Amino acid sequence: MPIKCRLISPTELLLERPVYEPPEIGTEFLIVSEKEWRERIRREWGSGFFLGCLFVALLAMLIFAIAGHAQTRYTGSADVGLDQGLGFEIPTVDLIGGIERPIGRRFELDAAGTYGFTRKAADEPRPNGRTAIVSVTPIIWATPWLGLTGEINCNWLFTTAYNKAACSHFPAPGVVFRARPLGLPSRLWLAGVIPSGSIDRKTGIESNRVSGVQFAWEARIGHIGPADVRLILGLGVYHGYSQGNPLCDGTDGPPVTCPRASWTTYTDDTTVRLVFPRNADAGNLW
């Protein structure tokens, strides 16, 4: 009978709180040093380089905003989404605050913070939960109408049953087009979603390793007082994995005898965004 092993730290052993329930007969546990254990976790979660870049970019954004207030756009948004494919009760509601900072003619830096009122359908005794997302999106305008993007983000899910978190290991590539569909000054966004996250060694909860593609049409539809009003219609198509057994699904290495179940789904959402200050030319592309 093959012997399956997993790493267990001395701290975990002393606390007598193994991360997982003991598996079937024939499983052995390999005790390693704290140094080796931390090194394994570091490799799985990454060095934190992009997380550091995220906060450096946020700081740079604030500096640019203070240095050139007239060019900086401040945004406040409310988003309603249909995310049942990701396991949430519908609708999901998010509040978003952000900054858009052009840097010359070729560069732009956008940053946003999101707080979501979400209800995870599987939570007991009733669906509940909250989400938080921090993101930074640099844009390089290759031409006046075509830009290249690379979003970096961290997101968190908090419920009464468990918490989950994931941060970008690499910038997610994308493109943005300036256009006028239906005569409305707009931006058309298309971006990939790169899998991130790993396993929480304290709880045994695995990342869903979500990948996919996102599309959004962001159009300026009018103004209210000192603010422009934008309408954003978004659609996402995703592929991910359900929670498995880390002892045999490949998380702790081969052999893989119980692969995780995969799924494919889609989401759509509608966002109303207020942008300050108002654009002096209502028909101007931004």
Rounded Cα gap, residues 204 and 199, in angstroms: 6
Q: Which residue blocks in the chain are alpha helix, DSSP H?
A: 10-15, 34-45, 49-67
Give the CA distances from residue 191 to residues 79, 109, 283, in Å, rounded to whole numbers and listed in that order. 19, 16, 26
Q: What is the pLDDT of residue 174?
A: 97
Q: What is the pLDDT of residue 284?
A: 82
pLDDT cut 70: percent of the chain above it: 73
**Pairing state between β 92-103 and 146-158:** unpaired
3-state secondary structure 135-153: EEEEEEECCCCEEEEEEEE
**Pairing state between β 262-276 and 227-241:** antiparallel
Question: How far does Cα 134 stand from its chain's mean position?
Answer: 8
pTM of the prediction?
Answer: 0.74
Rounded Cα gap, residues 178 and 123, in angstroms: 42
103: left (phi over 0), alpha (psi -120 to 50) or beta: beta
Rounded Cα gap, residues 101 and 111, in angstroms: 9
How does 201-224 read in b/e, with b if 16+ C-beta sit within 10 Å?
beebbbbbbbbbebebbbbbeeee
Q: What is the DSSP string of 181-221?
A: GGG--EEEEEEEE-----B-TTT-PBP---EEEEEEEEEEE
Predicted confidence (pLDDT) per residue in 61-93, tens digit: 555 555 554 478 999 999 999 888 888 888 889
Rounded Cα gap, residues 97 and 77, in angstroms: 6
Please give the domain boundaries of the chain with CATH numbers for all domains: 46-276 (2.40.128)
Nearest-5° Cα angle at 205, 167 to 42: 50
Residue 12 has pLDDT above 50, yes or no: no
Predicted confidence (pLDDT) per residue in 89-140, tens digit: 888 899 999 999 998 889 999 999 999 988 776 655 566 788 999 999 999 9
